[in-house]
């Protein structure tokens, strides 16, 4: 990282790694605490600022077994205790914190489609889920995530921020949504609903203390309500917003369904990566990732105008390639598409800052090195640095890493 001229590294602390039972009363794993101290100290010794995420979807199994994890409001106090432990241990050395990474993905894939842990969805979806209700649980889980986030923010601000002099926020993911036909009022409204059901779902409570009106109208009583005290705690509970942006989509209306309700159909929208048979842009190896750099610019301007110009960090932006075992090492390191991806996104990021005054303070490519990409395993590579999975995990800088090093130096 130092050789590549990076000045900050974003990583997550694993809740069950330092609290195996999920609670302070269940015992603290000293080896886990020590591991992160060592990592943070090594980063600082090399002039690299740690940017720490508290929750990247790893609920301690003990809490899942005891009360259903984020399905229960009981998790708010346990998350607050976990966050407090992290602030106490690392707060003097860590100046950038995020509470949650991508609550939208955690809620929808874990509790609507059932494709991620804990794999819950409605029976009628026939996805072999472990129980669940796709019409209510995603909303309940997101509600408890927001309350847990707000509790962690409150404890940081009241106990640590003045002395530690750090900043804390939340990291959200969203596509930018484009009306399939820009002359169609219905398509324009569908694009806004799509944004509300992915991005506004969290930004509206964080900036106004309630969910978007679009969601309230379409989801009705299935969408939880904040008490006045909860709304007060959630509203304004961030120093910055972390934005994970990869791709954009076309949006258009979907007809109401006659079947069972579900988060996946509640917005009455459909999306596509094609318009009139033409793709939005080049497709990466991931089926959901098409190059559309202008979407980052448009999302940033939208966020500035709608949500009162918050301080923003681009916490993830990047592209995948297929792991191809037939390539030689030299061939595998030539990732010129990745250079193009970052170059173009950085171009539009600069435009948003200079021409529209968007308040962006940092940019983190996803990712530093190739990684385990959830259910895709090691079949996809997102890294600037190549990891040789067949040869003792040795690392080699790809062409993109050398380009990025030079970019940062200039």
Residue 248 CB neighbours (<10 A): 24
Distances (CA, A) of 266 to 193, 213, 221, 394, 405: 10, 13, 13, 46, 44
The C-alpha atoms of residue 207 and residue 202 are separated, in whole angstroms, by 9
Cβ atoms of residues 364 and 1 within 8 Å: no
> Could you tell me which residues come within 8 angstroms of residue 298 by beta carbon, excluding any fewer than 6 positions away?
176
Catalytic-role residue among 80, 89, 137, 316 = 316
The C-alpha atoms of residue 221 and residue 143 are separated, in whole angstroms, by 13
**Does residue 316 have an active-site annotation?**
yes
CA dihedral 46, 57, 106, 236 (to 10 degrees): -60
Structure tokens at 401: 């890493």
Cβ atoms of residues 244 and 366 within 8 Å: yes
The C-alpha atoms of residue 65 and residue 22 are separated, in whole angstroms, by 11
The C-alpha atoms of residue 54 and residue 101 are separated, in whole angstroms, by 8
Cβ atoms of residues 249 and 269 within 8 Å: no
Please return the burial class of 162, using the count of CB atoms within 10 Å of its CB with bins 0-12, 13-18 and 19+: exposed
CA 208 to chain CA centroid, nearest Å: 21
The C-alpha atoms of residue 231 and residue 32 are separated, in whole angstroms, by 34
The C-alpha atoms of residue 370 and residue 372 are separated, in whole angstroms, by 7
**DSSP H stretches of helix in 30-136:** 30-45, 61-67, 75-90, 103-111
**What sign has the CA pseudo-torsion 318, 319, 324, 327?**
negative
Structure tokens at 50: 């740690």
> Could you tell me which residues come within 8 angstroms of residue 160 by beta carbon, excluding any fewer than 6 positions away?
87, 88, 91, 166
Structure tokens at 209: 């203390």
Cβ atoms of residues 282 and 290 within 8 Å: yes
What residues are labeled active site?
A: 316
């Amino acid at each position: 990282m130092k050789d590549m001229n990076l000045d900050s590294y974003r990583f997550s602390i694993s809740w069950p790694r330092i609290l195996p039972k999920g609670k302070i009363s269940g015992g603290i794993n000293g080896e886990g605490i020590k591991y992160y101290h060592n990592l943070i100290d090594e980063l600082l010794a090399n002039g690299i600022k740690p940017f720490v995420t508290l929750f990247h979807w790893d609920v301690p199994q003990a809490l899942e077994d005891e009360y259903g994890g984020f399905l229960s409001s009981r998790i708010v106090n346990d998350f607050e205790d976990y966050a407090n432990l992290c602030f106490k241990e690392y707060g003097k050395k860590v100046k950038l914190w995020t509470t949650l990474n991508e609550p939208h993905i955690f809620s929808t894939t874990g509790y609507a489609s059932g494709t991620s842990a804990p794999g819950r969805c409605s029976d009628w979806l026939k996805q072999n889920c472990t129980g669940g209700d796709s019409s209510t649980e995603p909303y309940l889980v997101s509600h408890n995530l927001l309350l847990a986030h707000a509790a962690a923010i409150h404890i940081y601000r009241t106990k640590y921020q003045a002395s530690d002099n750090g900043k804390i926020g939340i990291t959200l993911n969203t596509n930018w949504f484009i009306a399939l036909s820009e002359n169609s009022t219905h398509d324009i409204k569908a694009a806004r609903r799509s944004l509300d059901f992915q991005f506004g779902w969290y930004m509206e409570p964080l900036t106004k203390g309630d969910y978007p009106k679009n969601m309230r109208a379409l989801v009705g009583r299935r969408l939880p309500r904040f008490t006045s005290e909860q709304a007060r705690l959630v509203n304004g509970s961030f120093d910055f917003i972390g934005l994970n942006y990869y791709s954009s989509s076309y949006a258009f209306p979907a007809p109401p369904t006659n079947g069972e309700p579900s988060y996946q159909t509640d917005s009455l929208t459909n999306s596509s990566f094609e318009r009139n048979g033409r793709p939005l842009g080049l497709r990466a190896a991931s089926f959901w990732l098409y190059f559309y750099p202008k979407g980052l610019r448009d999302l940033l301007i939208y966020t500035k105008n709608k949500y009162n110009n918050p301080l923003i960090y681009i916490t993830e932006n990047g592209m995948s390639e297929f792991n191809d075992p037939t390539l030689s090492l030299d061939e595998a390191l030539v990732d010129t598409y990745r250079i193009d991806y970052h170059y173009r996104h950085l171009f539009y990021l600069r435009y948003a800052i200079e021409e529209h005054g968007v308040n962006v303070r940092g940019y983190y490519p996803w990712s530093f090195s190739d990684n385990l990409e959830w259910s895709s395993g090691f079949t996809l590579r997102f890294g600037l640095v190549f990891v040789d999975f067949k040869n003792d995990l040795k690392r080699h800088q790809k062409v993109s890493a050398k380009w990025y090093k030079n970019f940062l130096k200039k």
